[in-house]
Structure 1
Amino acid sequence: SLSIEGIHAIKEEELLGVIGSTPGQPYSDFGVTTDRDNILALYFNEGFPEASFSATADRVSAAATEQKPEAGGSSGSAKGNVDKTQKEKESKTEIEQAEAVRLMYHIQEGPQTRVRRILIGGYRHTRPGVIHREVHIKVKEPLREGDVVESQRRRYNLGVFNRVSSEPQNPNGTNPEKDIAVLVEEAKRYTVAYGGGFEVQRLASTTSPTGAQIEAAPRGILEVSKLNLTGRGDSLSFKLRGSTLQGRALLGYSAPNAFANPHFSFQATAFAEKTRDINTFTEDRYEGSVQLTEQVTPLTTVLYRYAFRQVRVSNLKILSEEVPLFNQPTLVSQFGVTWFRDSRDNPAEASKGSFNSADFSDADTNVGSSASFLRFFFQNSTYYPIKRRFSFARSTRLGLLVPYGDTVSLTFPAPAPGQCIPGTAPSGPTPTIIPLPERFFAGGGTSLRGFALNQAGPRDACTGFPVGGQAMLVLNQEFRFPMRLPFIGTSLGGAIFYDGGNVYSRLSRISLHSMLPAPTFALQNPALPAGPTNVPVCATNCTNELNYFAHTIGLGVRYKTPVGPIRIDFGYQLNRPLFVIPIPCPSGAANCQVGSLGQQSTRLPGFQIFFNLGSSF
C-alpha cells in the first residue's frame, strides 16, 4: 500500500500522476528516488522552493499476521540532499526481498513563494517592453520554476543577450512575496566576420555540350551585422561573397516576435548575384523578398513569402534564331508558402530521423511577372541507424512547373533537315514560356551524381546544351559505413550510393524507361555527294528531349568536421543515351560557324567526381 502525508496545496490525485510506486508495482529504492524527484519538481514548479520529502517502508509478512517495521526509504529537500546509512541500506535490501511493503511518503511543503513585482535591469539599447514580453513570470502568481526556465530560454532566443537571469530578491527573507530581478547583459551590437578560401567546382564546358572541366578560384567572404537595430531584438546584416565562379551581395533584415507573437518572425532580403553554374548561359539575378516564418511546433515550420526578381541571361549557347525565345525579359513576381518538418538528429550529418518539405508558389502576369506558372517542390528524406555506426539514408525529390494563361510549355519538335544550320531556322511569333532560369536543372554532388553540375535533362535540339525542364524526379539511396585508419581514427567514413531520376520536359513526360532510341543521320540531299553545302544532319530521333530514367552507382569518402563532412564522391551513370550536337569546327579554322559542318551524335561522360562540404541530402 501507499500513503502520502503532509499534502495541502496540491491534490493527491495530481501527486499520484507523477508517482510510479503505486500498489501492485514492484518495490525498489530506485523507484522511490524517482518518485522523490518527480514530487519535488512538482512542488518547485508550484512555488514551493523549500519543499522536502522523506519515505518509510514497512515489510509485510506473507500471512499478513505479523509486521516487522523496518526504517528506510528515501528523503530529499529543495537542495536534493539524501542521508543514507549502512543500516538503512541493509533495511532496504530486506524490504526489496519481501513479498510486500507498506510505503509511506512524508512531505513538508514549506511556504509558497509568490511574485510581488518584476524588476528589469541591465539593458542599454533594448526596449523594456521587449524584455517584459519574453518574461513568463506573472505578478501575484506562484514563482514557478518552469516559468523561470521558459523566460530565460525566450530571452536567449532573441539573439541579442550574452547572459540572462531571473532571481528573487532577499531569497532567505520570511516574506513569501518576492520581488523578481530580471537581469540581462547585452551582446556587442556590431560584428564583422571575414574569411577566405579556395573554391573548386567541376563545371560543364562553355564551348562543348559534353565537356567538363575542374575550375578553381580563390574565394572571399565579408559579413557586417548590427544586432538590436531598433532595440526590438531585430538585426541588419550585409554579406559579400565573391570568386571568379560566383559573386553575391546580400542585405538582410530580421525581426523576431512579429505581431508580438513568439511563434512568428519576419525577414526581408535584397541581393544581387552572378553565377555561371549552368553552361548554357550566365545568370545575373536581382531579387527582393519578404518572408514571415511561423514556428508551429519545435519540429514544424511554415514560411510565407513574396519575392520579386529580375534575371538576365547572357552568353547563351543556342542558335541566334532561338535567342528571342530563351532571352525574353525575366521578371518574376511570386507568392509562395513552404512547409517543412525536421526531426533529424544532426542536420549537417544525419544518421536518424527524417526531413519533409513541401513548397508551393505562384507567379502571375497580373502582379508583374513575365510569365504565369505554378511551382511545386516536394522532398522526403529519411535516415536509419544500423547497429552502432552504420546508417542508411534515402531521399525523394519531386518538382513540377505548370504554365497557365498565355504561358505555354517549351516543346521539343524534331528539327526539319538542315534547320539547325545557322541562318536556316524558320522565323515566326515568339511564344511566352517559363523563363530559362526558372526551369529545373539537376546534376552534381547533391542531386544526380552521374551528371556534371546541372547537366541532366532536356537539351537544345541544335546545340546540345541543357535547357532545363518543367518536371524533376530525383531518388537517392546511400549506405554509410565507418573507415578506421591510423592517425585519423573514426573521423573517416565511406558510402555506397545509388542515384536515379532525371529532369523531364514536363509532367506527362516523366518516364521510368532506361533506354532511348539513338538518332540517325543522313546528308541534306542524299542524291548529292557530301560537301560544304551538303552536310550530315539528323534524320530521326532528333529532339534531344532525353526523357529517360538515369541510373547512377558510386562510392564516396567522407571526413567529419565540426561544420559537416567533407565529401568526395565518384559516380558512374549506367545508361547514357546518345543525343545530337553540331560537328565542332576544326581548331584554327577560319570562317567556320558552329553547326555549319553538320551534326553528329555523342554521349555525356559516364564518370563524375565531386568535392563538396556538407551532406549529399
Structure 2
Amino acid sequence: MAKFHPGDQVSVQRTSNALDRLRKKYQKQNRLVAQISIPNRTYRPATNTVDYTFNIQPGPKVDIIVEGFKLSRRELRKAVPVFQENTLDEDLLNEGRRNLLTYLQTHGYFDATVGIKQHNEVGGDLLRAIYIVDPGERHKLAKVVLEGNHYFPSDLILPRMQIQPAGRLFSHGRFNQGLLADDVRGIEDLYRNNGFQQVKVTSKVQDNYEGQTNQLEVEIHIGEGPQTTVSSLTITGNHVMGLNDFPELSTAPGQPFSETNIASDRDALLDFYFNHGFPSATFEAAAKPMAADPECMNVTFTIHEGEQVFVDQVYVSGLRHTRPSTANQQLEIHPGDPVSQIEMLRTQQKLYDLGIFSQVETAVQNPEGKEPSKNVLVDVQEAKRYTFNYGLGLEFQTGQPAVGSNQPLGATGVSPRVSFDVTRLNFRGRANTLTLKSNLGRLQQRGLISYDAPRWLNSQNWHLSLTAFYDNTLDVTTFTSQRLEASVQFQQTVSRATSLFYRYTFRRVKASDIEISPDQIPLLSQPTRVGGPGLSFIRDKRDNPLETTRGTYNTIDEALADTHFGSEADFSRILLQNSTYHAFGRRRPDDRRYVFARSTRIGLEVPYGNTVIVEPGDPVPDNSSLVPLPERFFSGGGNSHRGFGLNQAGPRDPNTGFPLGGSALFLNNLELRFPPVTLPFFEDNLSFAIFHDAGNVFT
C-alpha cells in the first residue's frame, strides 16, 4: 500500500511519499481525520539499515450534509473545502459555511443564516457535520443609487461594491446587511485615502420597491466634506542615497493627504534601502497643518539609513549534472554589489526559468552579523532530467477522398492512435532540451526530434532550435502528404512584444491519393525537394494569448525555395496577418465584456524559373515543374474559412472536384464574442460567438 519495502534506499522523499500514499488510501474511504506518522526509526549499524514503525489511527468516517435547504451534492462539494483538502477542521468547516452563505445570497436569499452542528454516531466510527440552513424569504435587489458623490463618479464606485443589483451575472442581485456595511466602510476608506478625512457615508434600504413584493432599493448618501492636501514634503537623513535616486512617492505637494499614502511611501522607501544594502534602515513620518490653512499639511519624512552591507562571495550549491557556468550566468548579484533582496529574488526567478531546477533557495550568511561584507548562498535542487509521455486512443476524421466523385466528401475515417514522447532536460548540463515525439495511426504517422538551446551564446534574447521531422498524414478531402524535413531556426527577442525568427528549412515532400486530371498526377505525386531560408516577424500586443480581450497581433512570414539551396522547385512565399481585439461594456468586469475580434490574412506565392502553377485543367508546359501540392495555400475549416470544409475553398480539378490549392490567399474573419453564460452543468465555461468569414484561395 505504501510502496515502502525492505531493501529500498532510505530517503526523505521516499518516506514522505509512503506517508502520502497511506493518507490517500484512508481519504478515499472518507476517513479525513486519519492520523499517520512514523514514531520510531531504529538504525542498525551492522547492516546499515533503518527499521521504521508506522502508527496509523484511521479515525471515523466523515459525512457532511445540509438541512433546511435543498442543495445538490455537486454544489456541496464545491462549497465545502473539506472535500478538496481531504481533511477536517474548524477552519475548513467555517470556510464552507461562508461559501454556502455566499451561494444563498447570490440566489436571492439575502437574509439566510447557516449554522454548523457536529454529531458523533454511536460507536465513534462516523463523524457527521451538519450545515443547518435557514434561507428566509427570497428577495431581489432591483436598484442601487449613489447620492452626493462629486469627486468620484458612480461608474468608479459601483463596480467596487460587493452588493450588486440583479443582472445577467446575479439573477436576484447580491445583498445582505453585512455586505452593505462593508461597502459603506469601503467607500469611506476610498475617500479618506484621497484626502477626505471628514467623509460620512450612510445607507438606506427600501423594501417592496415601486410596489413590487420582496424587491429592494439601496440608497447610499455620501457626504464628502473638505479635501486635505499636501502643501510641502521634506525628506531628511538621506546621506548616502540621493533624492533623485528615490522611487516615485505618492505623497507630493498638491496631492491628497492620507495615512495610506504615507504608509505606501514608507514601504517604498524601506524596500529601496533594503535593496541597496541597508538592512537596518528605518523611517519616520510627521505631518503638521499650516496655520493659515488647516486643510494643507506640511509633511516630513526622516530616514535613518544605518550601515550599508556588500556582497563578499556568492556560493552556488546542489549542482550535480548542471555546469557551474550555466547557473552562474543567471546570477543577478555579484561580489562587491550591495546586498539586495530584489536581486536575490531575480536570481531565484532566472534559475527557475531555466526549467531544470525543482527548487531554488537564496539566503544571506549570518544575516544578524555586523560584518560590512557577507556571503550570499544559493542552493538548488535539480529536476528530473527524463520525462516520458505515452498515450493510446482513437482518431476520427471525416471526408476522406472518395473516388469518382465531383464533390469528394468521402467517408469517415477511424484509426487507433499511439503516442510516445521522451524529453531530456539539461542536456550536457547546459539547460538545453532534447525531445523525441511520435504518434502512430492509420490516418497519421509522425515523428519529431528537436534540440532547443533557449539561451544561445549565453544571451537571454537568442533561442536556437534544431529539428528533424517526419510526417505522413491523410489530409481530409485533399491528399496524403508525406514530409521529411530538417530545419535550423534562430529566434531573436527584440522586445517583450516583438520577435524575429531566422530559419533554414530543407524538406522532401510527396503527395499521393490525388484525384485530379491524369496528366498532372506524375508531377504532383512524385517526391520533391524543397529548401531555402525563411524569415518571420511577430509583434504580439495582446493582453492574453489564450483569452484575448484587447490588443493587436501582427505577423509577416517570408520563405524562399531555390535550386541554389538544394530545392527542386523555385518559388517565394509571403503570408501577412493582422488581428485586432476590442472589448466593450464599461461597467462589466474584464472577463465579462463583449469582444469584437478581426483577423485578416493575405498570402502570395510566386513561382519562377522552371516552376509554374497552372490553371485547373490546363496542361503543364514541357520541362516545367509545379509548386508541390503541400506547399500551396489552402483554406477552409474551423481555423480558417468556416464556410467550407477542411481545405475545400479555392481552385478544384474540373474533373474530380479535388482541391488543388493556389498561389494567392485572402481571408478576413470577423467575430463578436459574448461573455460566458451560466448554464447547468457547464456553469460559466461556455461562451458563444457570431462570426463572418470572407475570402478564398486563388491561382
Mean Cα deviation higher: 272-281 or 98-107: 272-281
- Matched residues in 2 for 1:23 and 1:445: separation? 58
SS at match of 1:203: coil
**Aligned residue number for residue 32 of structure 1:** 262
Residue 598 of structure 2: aligned partner: 394
In 2: Cα distance, 1:307 partner to 1:500 partner? 32
Query: Alignment partner of 1:205: what SS?
Result: coil
Asked whether the 8 Å contact 1:375–1:400 carries over to 2, the reply is yes
Give the structure 2 partner of residue 156 of structure 1: 352
CA displacement, residues 3-38 of structure 1 (integer Å, 9 cap, x when unaligned): 1111011112333x5123222222112221222222
Flag the 1:311–1:5 CA change in 2: closer, same or farther, 3 A: same
Structure 2: tracts of 5 or more residues without a match:
1-231
User: In structure 1, how many angstroms separate the alpha carbons of the residues matched to 2:408 and 2:655?
Assistant: 16
Counterpart in the other structure of 1:226: 424
- Residues 182 and 479 of structure 1: is their aligned pair in 2 closer, same or farther, counting only changes over 3 Å? same
2:355 alignment partner, SS class:
coil
1:428, distance to aligned residue in structure 2 (A): 6.1
Paired residue type of 2:305: E
Report the count of equivalent residues.
459
1:491 aligns with 2:685: yes
State whether residues 359 and 378 of structure 1, in contact with CA within 8 Å, keep that contact through their aligned partners in structure 2: yes
SS in 2 for 1:326: helix
Give the alignment partner of residue 103 of structure 1, picking from 269, 276, 299.
299
Aligned AA (1:446): N
2:641 to 433, 445, 448: 448
Q: Contact conserved, 1:202 with 1:452, CA < 8 A, in 2?
A: no
Tell me the SS of whatever aligns to 1:468: coil
Match of 2:252 among 5, 22, 25: 22
How far residue 461 of structure 1 moved from its aligned partner, in angstroms, is 2.9
For 1:162 and 1:127, locate their aligned partners in 2 and report how far apart those are by CA, in whole Å.
Answer: 16
Residues 297 and 197 of structure 1, relative CA distance in 2, 3 Å threshold: farther
Alpha-carbon offset, residue 134 of structure 1: 0.9
- Percent sequence identity over aligned pairs: 43
| 3-state secondary structure, aligned to 1:31 | helix
For 1:414-425, what aligned pairs fall within 5 Å after superposition?
A: none
Q: Is 1:210 aligned with 2:407?
A: yes
**Match of 1:317?**
515
How far apart are 1:486 and its partner, in Å? 1.8
Quote the Cα distance in structure 1 between the aligned partners of 2:666 and 2:620.
34
1:344 Cα shift? 2.8
Equivalent residue for 1:573? none
Larger helix share, 1 or 2 = 2
Amino acid at match of 1:437: P
Unaligned runs of 5+ in 1: 64-97, 416-425, 506-617
Give yes or no for contact 1:372–1:407 (8 Å, CA) kept in 2: yes
Residue in 2 that maps onto 1:369: 567
Q: Return the alpha-carbon distance in structure 2 between the equivalents of residues 478 and 244 of structure 1.
A: 36
Cα gap change, 1:408/1:319 in structure 2, threshold over 3 Å: closer, same or farther?
Answer: closer
Change (3 A) 1:241 1:343: farther
Please say which of residues 249-258 and 212-221 is displaced more in the overlay. Answer: 212-221
Q: Aligned match of 1:356 in 543, 554, 559?
A: 554
Distance in 1 of aligned mates of 2:550 and 2:543: 6
> How many angstroms apart in 1 are the aligned matches of 2:476 and 2:698?
17
Give runs of aligned pairs for residues 245-394 of structure 1, distance below 5 A: 245-387=443-585, 388=588, 389=592, 390-394=594-598
**Residue-by-residue CA offset, 1:453-510 (whole Å, 9 max, x unaligned):** 11110112332211100111111111122332223211111111111101111xxxxx
Name 1:5's counterpart in structure 2.
236
Task: Give the counterpart letter for 2:454 in structure 1.
Answer: P
* 1:437 is the counterpart of 2:630: yes
CA deviations on 1:545-594 (whole Å, 9 max, x unpaired) are: xxxxxxxxxxxxxxxxxxxxxxxxxxxxxxxxxxxxxxxxxxxxxxxxxx
Q: Which residue of 2 aligns with 1:537?
A: none
Change (3 A) 1:351 1:23: closer
Task: Verify the 8 A CA contact 1:18 1:39 in the aligned structure 2.
Answer: no
Q: 1:242 aligns with which of 435, 440, 444?
A: 440
- The counterpart of 1:473, out of the listed 646, 657, 666, is 666
1:54 Cα shift? 1.7
Give the partner amino acid of 2:596: F
Tell me the distance in 1 between the aligned counterparts of 2:390 and 2:544.
26
Asked whether the 8 Å contact 2:671–2:690 carries over to 1, the reply is yes
Task: Tell me: CA distance 1:262–1:384, structure 2 relative to 1, closer, same or farther (3 Å).
Answer: same
- State the alpha-carbon separation in 1 of the partners of residues 613 and 620 from structure 2: 19
Are residues 161 and 210 of structure 1, via their aligned partners in 2, closer, same or farther at CA, if it must alter by over 3 Å? same
**Deviating more after overlay: 259-268 vs 206-215:** 206-215
Q: Is the 8 A contact 2:273 2:281 kept in 1?
A: yes
Distance 1:54 1:209, change over 3 A: farther
Q: What residue identity is the alignment partner of 2:613?
A: S
Q: What amino acid sits opposite 2:238 in the alignment? A: I
Residue 412 of structure 1 and its aligned partner are, at CA, apart by: 4.3
Whether the aligned pair in 1 keeps the contact of 2:408 and 2:657 (CA below 8 Å) is no
Residue from 36, 45, 58 that aligns with 2:275: 45
| Contact 1:382/1:395 (<8 A) preserved | yes
Distance 2:412 2:643 in 1: 16
Tell me by how many angstroms 1:406 deviates. 2.8
Structure 1 counterpart of 2:258, one-letter code: S
Checking the alignment, whether the CA contact within 8 Å between 1:272 and 1:287 is kept in structure 2 is yes
Contact persistence 2:408–2:658 (CA under 8 A): no
Q: Secondary structure, in 3 states, of the residue corresponding to 1:136?
A: coil
**Rounded Cα–Cα distance in structure 1 between residues aligned with 2:406 and 2:341:** 66
Q: Is the 8 A contact 1:203 1:214 kept in 2?
A: yes
Cα deviations across residues 130-159 of structure 1 (Å, max 9, x unaligned)? 111111212111123332232222211211
Tell me if the contact between 1:61 and 1:99 (Cα under 8 Å) persists in the aligned partners: no
Between stretches 186-195 and 24-33, larger displacement belongs to 24-33
**Residue 435 (structure 1) shift:** 1.4
2:335 is matched with which residue: 139, 147, 163? 139
What residue in structure 2 maps to residue 551 of structure 1? Answer: none
Aligned-residue offset at 1:278: 4.8
**In structure 1, distance between residues paired with 2:356 and 2:236:** 47
In structure 1, C-alpha distance between the alignment counterparts of 2:326 and 2:318, rounded to whole Å: 13
- SS for the counterpart of 2:399 is strand
CA distance in 2, matches of 1:146, 1:292: 31
2-structure distance, mates of 1:183, 1:446? 46
The amino acid across from 2:473 in the alignment is T
Matched, 1:57 2:287: yes
For the 8 Å contact 2:408–2:477, the answer to whether it is kept is: no
CA shift for structure 1 position 49: 2.4
Residue from 301, 318, 327 that aligns with 1:122 = 318
**Amino acid aligned to 2:643:** G
Verify: 1:168 aligned to 2:364, yes or no.
Answer: yes
Query: Structure 1 residues 313 and 307, CA, compared in 2 at 3 Å: closer, same or farther?
Result: same
Aligned equivalents of 2:379, 2:430: Cα separation in 1: 17
Q: What residue is the counterpart of 1:543 in the other structure?
A: none
Q: Which sits farther off after the overlay, 468-477 or 216-225? A: 216-225
2:379 aligned with 1:186, yes or no? no
CA distance in 2, matches of 1:376, 1:339: 11
Question: What one-letter code is carried by the residue in structure 1 that aligns with 2:672?
Answer: F
